[in-house]
Structure 1
Amino acid sequence: MFLSFNLFIVLAHVMLAVARRPVNKYQDLMANTIPADPRRNETLATRTSSQINQPHRSRKGAKQAARLQRRSGRLASTPARLPRENAAPTPQPTGPSSVSTTVHITSVTDFSILLPSDGELVSDAESDGTAYCTDGSGCQNSFPAGFITGANISQASDGSYIQITGCLDSSKFHFAQNDAGGQMDVRFPNGAQCTFGGYGASFIEQVEPSANRFCLRCCASANDQVNCNSHNDKAGCPVAVPGIYDFAGVSCS
């Protein structure tokens, strides 16, 4: 009886000690958790300003960036090629040769140029421009009296081109009102050519009624964009066909 009482007292003390111990139901779980990696758990506040401004890259991303950098270096050393559509078009005839669209230069009293239809803008006459010439030149249409007020012919020493530059009286022809002018060349009108170079050879002609000015240069060869630069179509005669535009009593320079 005494032994049982003593055993009861011991058990009571043990139970009391256990009851006083703080309880943490997560104690065993926390002990088995992998410690956090401070590099992966850094907050925005713990990063330096330079780190904040730089993207966070993995090793795989760094290797890929290095490959791209090397590739871009090789590409930079390779000359860039311009798209074909940016290249200037090569002038080509737009139809078989036609008498009505053939011009010539022989002398200041024997030449022809392409002119528009009645009341049509020169720039719109690319489809139906017609050759007009001085009296006795043999073409179907002649210049009105007093139309040409001054003209000069010159030719390259190497025979690469011949040209005529001059002034005209726009009131003598049926130009559209306030027409600033336009260009004719081997492409338009259809079948246009100059007898100097023959069919397919380069030539450029500009007629500017508002400036009372005209010019025609015929080249000996096809695709001559040095002497017969068809891309000066908006520059005017003094640029497209440099020459004499000042005469006694009349100037259209």
Structure 2
Amino acid sequence: MLALSSALLLASLVNAQAGVISSGPNGPTNPAAPSLDTPVNQTSMSRLVSLNSYDDFCLWGPPVAGDTIGDTEGEQVAWCTKPRNDARVIPDGTITSVHVVKTPNYIQIQGLLDGTKMNIMAGDQGGELDPHGATGEGNPVGGNVTSNVSGADVFYEEWMSFMSVDMFCLRICTAENSTYSAAIMCQHEIDLLGCQWVMPGDYTDDSFTTCDADAAYPPGVYPQPDGSTSTFHQRFTVTGTAPFTIGVTVTPSAAYSIPASSNCVTHTSPSNGLAAIVTAAVSSGVASASGAAITSGTGTGAAASGSGTKAAAGVSSGASATGAAASATGTTASSSAVRGESRVSFSSAMLVLGAMVLGGGALAI
């Protein structure tokens, strides 16, 4: 009966949110569905990211160290806080703050980290990941996201993420309305301004929280005194036989506001108990913590160059977390694309992670 209820719930979601539920294929290196307690595989090329709660989420990270995220956006892989999705596991000590917020339109996670433990280069200002990319196959290629915020595991169509060596953020759009579509709420074209500008909120270090909140205005949208809105478009030039430029030269200092939050819960620092296993997997291919063998070596899977666009996901983005209203206009930019891998078995370790507080101005949508 439980499986039937979940299936009926998912079917109702698909019918009600045809523009929200993913219609594209699952990536070729991904498991067919999200699941917990999969083997720890620190050379995995799985690109299935899940965002469920403060203690159960995944982030994007490089498959190998040595290249910046901005130059290899199409090659990023999933790193998860628990053994899930056949993905890599985020080692203990990587995450230093986590804030999750649930809104009527999206679930979002943001925080700070030591990305060098996830193959991110020291000093890397990061890159922007989304389901579109330069080729339409996604950045990363074959990347998919799920969330069980609705009560069932659902593949969602629209999402956006910034990753750098010290800051991360991920938004999965889980609903839309007559005012803003999921594609607008997870707008992926503002890819140079970073987390604090595109996904404003609480980035306090050594803090772990989860909150309900109003939805923010979409990235780049600024309400005006007369009731209208002004939309900022990032400036870029398309070269070729018929070059053209889109966007404006003046960038607002920050997002319009940080939405009001409620029902906030504070959590303890994250720990999944996998530090010894992960370290052993990387250094020797043997998991001394459990005595089980881990397959080492290079994973396999699709690799494609990303858009090459670099985004400052960290504090160097220059965006204030508490921005005032700003006006910006520009020509609407159309998207150039559409949406489109060691091992140790062990039962799920209980990780306590934190999640996100948002406070300030609100948007009711």
TM-score bracket, normalised by the shorter chain, equals: 0.5 to 0.7
What is residue 172 of structure 2 aligned with on the other side?
218
| Contact 1:110/1:137 (8 A) holds in 2 | no
Q: Distance in 1 between matches of 2:207 and 2:97?
A: 9
SS at match of 1:191: coil
Work out the CA distance in 2 between the residues paired with 1:234 and 1:130.
21
CA RMSD of aligned residues (A): 2.8
Structure 1 equivalent of residue 143 of structure 2:
192
Query: Which stretch of structure 1 is more off in the superposition, 170-179 or 146-155?
Result: 170-179
1:96 aligns with 2:25: yes
SS at match of 1:144: coil
1:249–1:195 Cα change, 3 Å? closer
Write out per-residue CA displacement over residues 121-162 of structure 1, whole angstroms, 9 at most, x where no aligned residue.
111232211101013344420012211111011011x2x210
Higher relative contact order (CA 8 A, sep 6+): 2
Q: Residue 128 of structure 2 corresponds to which residue in structure 1?
A: 183
Indicate conservation of the 8 Å contact 2:96/2:206, yes or no.
no
Q: Which amino acid aligns with 1:128?
A: E
Equivalent residues, number: 157
Give the letter for the 2:159 counterpart.
Answer: F
* Deviations 1:196-224 (CA, angstroms, capped at 9, x unpaired): 39546110010121xx1000000125963
- In the alignment, which of 193, 202, 209 is matched to residue 235 of structure 1? 193
Q: 1:161 to 1:235 in 2, by over 3 A?
A: same
Alignment of 1:136-175 (within 5 A): 136-156=83-103, 158=104, 160-175=105-120
Q: Deviation per CA, 1:18-64, whole angstroms, max 9, x where unpaired?
A: xxxxxxxxxxxxxxxxxxxxxxxxxxxxxxxxxxxxxxxxxxxxxxx
Superposed CA offset, 1:57-91 (max 9, x none): xxxxxxxxxxxxxxxxxxxxxxxxxxxxxxxxxxx
Question: Would you say the 8 A contact 1:232–1:239 is kept in 2?
Answer: no
Bigger Cα displacement from structure 2, 137-146 vs 114-123: 137-146
Structure 1 residue 110, shift from structure 2 partner: 0.8
Matched-pair contact (CA < 8 Å) for 1:117–1:125: no
Unmatched 5+ residue regions in structure 2?
A: 1-21, 31-45, 133-138, 148-152, 209-313, 316-320, 322-365
TM-score, length-scaled by structure 2: 0.39
Report which of the two structures shows the higher radius of gyration computed on alpha carbons.
1
Show structure 1 runs of 5+ residues with no match.
1-92
Output the CA distance in 1 between the equivalents of 2:174 and 2:70.
Answer: 25
- Normalized per residue, which structure has more helix? 1
Q: Which residue of 1 aligns with 2:302?
A: none
Q: CA deviation at 1:177?
A: 3.9
Partner of 2:204: 246
Write the distance in 2 (CA, Å) between the matches of 1:133 and 1:226: 27
Partner AA of 2:185 in structure 1: N
Name 1:128's counterpart in structure 2. 75
**What TM-score does the superposition give when structure 1 sets the normalisation length?**
0.55
Conserved? CA contact 1:101–1:189, under 8 Å: yes
Q: Deviations over 1:79-132 (max 9, x none)?
A: xxxxxxxxxxxxxx9x73122212111122210011112222111232211101
